[in-house]
Structure 1
């Protein structure tokens, strides 16, 4: 079992540097580095304290089955929301994706439909137009994308996606977590 590698992965998931983990556990950055490279072994007390700071129980840490990540998501995993007034349907393709680094969705805009307007953030948005065509309003600028084209932008300005087709338009969108 690679205890050091697991500690490092937990630290990275928490977005902590070795120095930050060291500060929170009263350990040196050098010692954290040695632990992560399996060059040193912590006492049980130190190990439990590191896990506590990283938000992981000992059972979760050692339970291989619980650590297995889900890779394939099917239709039963997906959830939908339809906004009749604005003319769009959004389908979350991965459950609890709003708690992850990326949030992939399928967006269907009816004729004349518009997805809600978003305020500026630090998020990034990637999209691929599957069907129809859309207008992307990003601040005071307007961009057009049609089926087979990709979109990518930093959400640093107010932004909205609007159907620009005579029928429905479909997109796959992936938005990164916003740190505002």
Structure 2
């Protein structure tokens, strides 16, 4: 088991930078980087503090699940993250999706909410609008979709998704693993 890689995956899933995780655990960004690259080993106390911030128990962290055999995932398997400043909630539907080829998430926008801008990558992205209306800015072009419509693109240009409805919007997003 690659402990560093697993820590990194959990941090990314929680939408935290190395610096943010460091601030929440009183560790430096450099030390977090060393842990994620398996160049350093934390003390038990430090390790438990990191797991607590990441919202995982030691048992869950070390559990060797046969995820490739799991087919049905329950509501309690999902992980939620709410960004109050940008007005969105991100719900990872599959607990270890960042280790798979596709990452399905539910993205719920508050009125005027927007998701962060992503740099170009080789990722392919599928978005299905469940509620409201959204606008995708892909490079210099903006595409709009409303409830019942889909968006599909290769992320070869900077891209950002925003809510353009006068109310809450909700989308299902599936991204291939080439986005990191």
The TM-score bracket by the shorter chain reads: 0.5 to 0.7
- Rg larger in structure: 1
Unaligned runs of 5+ in 2: 1-64
Shift in alpha-carbon separation, 1:84–1:172, aligned structure 2, 3 A? same
Q: Distance in 2 between matches of 1:179 and 1:89?
A: 19
Shift of 1:96: 1.2
SS in 2 for 1:178: helix
SS in 1 for 2:178: coil
Moved over 2 A (4+): 65-68
Number of aligned positions between the proteins: 116
Q: Distance in 2 between matches of 1:178 and 1:109?
A: 24
Alignment of 1:101-140 (within 5 A): 101-140=101-140
Q: Distance in 2 between matches of 1:68 and 1:85?
A: 36
Q: Distance in 2 between matches of 1:79 and 1:67?
A: 16
Task: Tell me the equivalent position of 1:177.
Answer: 177
Pairwise CA RMSD: 1.7
Task: Tell me the equivalent position of 1:97.
Answer: 97
Q: Distance in 1 between matches of 2:175 and 2:140?
A: 21
Shift in alpha-carbon separation, 1:166–1:139, aligned structure 2, 3 A? same
Shift in alpha-carbon separation, 1:70–1:164, aligned structure 2, 3 A? same
